Structure 1
């Protein structure tokens, strides 16, 4: 997205300025069953229909010879398919893992509604004010809008997402409740973690910390969030103290937006590291965007990377521009999990976005100017394995025992998929077809 030609600055510049596969497959024996591309609807992980399904004549990761992929109890199996198993004809098409959206804001979206004309904005505060105006103007509930967007994400090959919902006195917990309703309706097709996100600030907006406490206490959310403790909230110590105390009391995780750059951003990152260590919250903390990290030299990156890796602190990026994409390969060397996300989709912040993680992997390759096959594959891996690591989910790597979460599509190989983003003909979740030809199977 390029900056506006008006006097206002773009969302990207506001955020930056505010911060101033390979896999294994199994070959089944002959299966005495009638071929069917429409097996019965199951209920995803843990609530699948328990039936075995064979996806016949498919090419895992698009390369090599065709195989018959056997699924039992929602997972890839290395055993011959049992007699009477359902058969889905792959017709030589590729099978790839479905992807994970590690950072998305479905509560804000106008997806499926009328066009929204956006006004100039020059600061995060301006965007926040426009969030409230847009929220109050909507005739559809958060649940309806979020369900439409999240269902679309499923149809485009998303298996799981971490969804942020604004929490502030202006909304109370409407966003959290709406996402909870949408999550329940899609539980057969999508794994969802919900974050109570204090977009208006934790300290600067009275009443917000009480709402975060309530969301965590009632079990409505899996995580509570934060935003720029030193920049936007102007409370670098107090915000983190409040957030970590709530997380510690109620056993929820933390996912903190950090757009601040330079020393202000690093000070917040150090505060997060220190509190994660002190409260033994290993593996329960994520920092999103983290614009201060791409600026680090090798020595600084090693210093922070090793600490985050040791404490299980994960990071997410939405690949907004080349200079703000996290150095994923280097961070992984230090044991830091990095996921890729969509961020806001057609909301007050931006008219763009489509909740398609195959497209997001493509955009990541585009903005970082990748060229080689291994570089393109790394973009796909960030959206597949990286997102799974951030969310604490097993890799859907098509290996025996892996969750049967994958897409069937006409493609040659992973790099070509990242470049061309071909249509996802079938989307499978827990061994059950949940979307076909771009539409949910309800």
Structure 2
């Protein structure tokens, strides 16, 4: 077998900055002692475990989020969509903690989603807390499984679209529900996206129902998603299903990659590195060709920049671009496979590693 090229044998290549399209920095245990996880048989148990874990942390949200966000920036992530828990119990404390952490990291753009992880209609007072969080550093309105968790598709969507309308905000909705029911929920979100004039301003995270090619209405649902300009955020985590990227591309559906939870109660895995996530997405989707590997990098970088509306992070770069990453690698394809740490992380001409 041929030896792996050494760093000195590889030319320095430039690449677009990485963008994490879906991450939960308020939940992380990053930088702290090892945390053993409890087993969970379903989504509700995972959420219950998360509630207990968050209540038991001895380090505050800002400290834990800062540790993770710092690591992400060192790894080349210059922007992220952060889903942050808001509830009647937590109030807006997690949003304030993540926003404070982000403000300590020049060069890192953090969009915060007010996320009703513990329920909205089923947890009275949460909608009011979400509204307050939009004044305390949150940028978008979130949602959580209107059917499977809330048990009221239209009531949940009425609440979050209503709040988004009242405050002029975009939406990013978690949707784990699978099967035809999951697809029906996605089509209703698409219908409301078009009706409210939000083309391109709504994201659905996970969208596991879109990953099942056996569902009869999958094609029609993908067309509805594309027509509404809805973004799909996938994380390729553990046993979670991943979408057929070729199929989604053929239907015109836009996709971004994200980390999801990093070293939290949900999973012991995750590094905060979107290079690692691009590698995992490529592996999970059977990438072989350079074009397929390059697509994985694009979903972890410029696609996220486009979703977040950040022009400087949305297109190709050159050796003279003021915002870029530099690696020892022959190509983007090799970068995705080998996962080297960036040599330089540059935004607006400033090397964030050196500084």
TM-score by length of structure 1 reads 0.74
CA contact (8 A) 1:132 1:170 kept: no
CA contact (8 A) 1:321 1:368 kept: no
Partner of 2:24: 105
The runs of 4+ residues in structure 1 deviating greater than 6 Å are none
Stretches of structure 2 that go unaligned for 5 or more consecutive residues are: 1-9
1:433 aligns with 2:348: no
Give the counterpart of 1:213 among 118, 131, 134.
131
Distance 1:322 1:263, change over 3 A: same
Q: How many angstroms does 1:415 deviate by?
A: 1.1
Deviations 1:305-341 (A, max 9, x none): 3332232211100013687212334333444321000
- Separation (CA, whole Å) in 2 of partners of 1:204 and 1:137: 23
Larger radius of gyration: 1
Partner of 1:202: 120
CA contact (8 A) 1:313 1:337 kept: yes
Distance 1:206 1:263, change over 3 A: same
Give the counterpart of 2:88 among 152, 169, 174.
169
Partner of 2:338: 420
Give the counterpart of 1:241 among 158, 165, 174.
158
- Separation (CA, whole Å) in 2 of partners of 1:110 and 1:359: 19
1:378 aligns with 2:305: no
Q: Please give the secondary structure, in 2, of the residue aligned with 1:160.
A: strand
CA contact (8 A) 2:92 2:136 kept: no
Q: How many angstroms does 1:132 deviate by?
A: 2.3
Stretches of structure 1 that go unaligned for 5 or more consecutive residues are: 1-90
CA contact (8 A) 1:322 1:367 kept: no
- Separation (CA, whole Å) in 2 of partners of 1:208 and 1:434: 37
Partner of 1:258: 175
Distance 1:322 1:201, change over 3 A: closer
Distance 1:102 1:403, change over 3 A: farther
CA contact (8 A) 1:294 1:323 kept: no
- Separation (CA, whole Å) in 2 of partners of 1:323 and 1:353: 14
Q: Please give the secondary structure, in 2, of the residue aligned with 1:308.
A: helix
Kindly report which structure 2 residues correspond to 1:90-129, keeping only aligned pairs within 5 A, or say none: 92-129=11-48
Deviations 1:238-290 (A, max 9, x none): 10110100001101111000110112111211210121122112222100100
- Separation (CA, whole Å) in 2 of partners of 1:393 and 1:299: 36
Q: How many angstroms does 1:389 deviate by?
A: 2.2
Partner of 2:3: none
Q: Give the alignment's Cα RMSD to 1 decimal.
A: 2.1
Partner of 1:349: 266
Give the counterpart of 1:363 among 264, 280, 292.
280
- Separation (CA, whole Å) in 2 of partners of 1:339 and 1:239: 25
- Separation (CA, whole Å) in 2 of partners of 1:323 and 1:368: 12
Partner of 1:328: 245
Distance 1:219 1:139, change over 3 A: closer
Distance 1:300 1:431, change over 3 A: farther
1:140 aligns with 2:59: yes
Partner of 2:226: 309
Query: Which structure has greater helix proportion?
Result: 2
- Separation (CA, whole Å) in 1 of partners of 2:179 and 2:215: 15
- Separation (CA, whole Å) in 1 of partners of 2:216 and 2:148: 25
- Separation (CA, whole Å) in 1 of partners of 2:303 and 2:210: 17
Distance 1:247 1:219, change over 3 A: farther
Provide the aligned length of Structure 1 versus Structure 2. 344
Distance 1:119 1:297, change over 3 A: closer
Q: Please give the secondary structure, in 1, of the residue aligned with 2:79.
A: strand
CA contact (8 A) 1:167 1:212 kept: yes
Deviations 1:24-73 (A, max 9, x none): xxxxxxxxxxxxxxxxxxxxxxxxxxxxxxxxxxxxxxxxxxxxxxxxxx
CA contact (8 A) 2:206 2:235 kept: yes
TM-score by length of structure 2 reads 0.91
CA contact (8 A) 1:317 1:339 kept: yes
Q: How many angstroms does 1:403 deviate by?
A: 6.3
- Separation (CA, whole Å) in 1 of partners of 2:288 and 2:199: 36
CA contact (8 A) 2:11 2:330 kept: no
- Separation (CA, whole Å) in 2 of partners of 1:255 and 1:282: 13
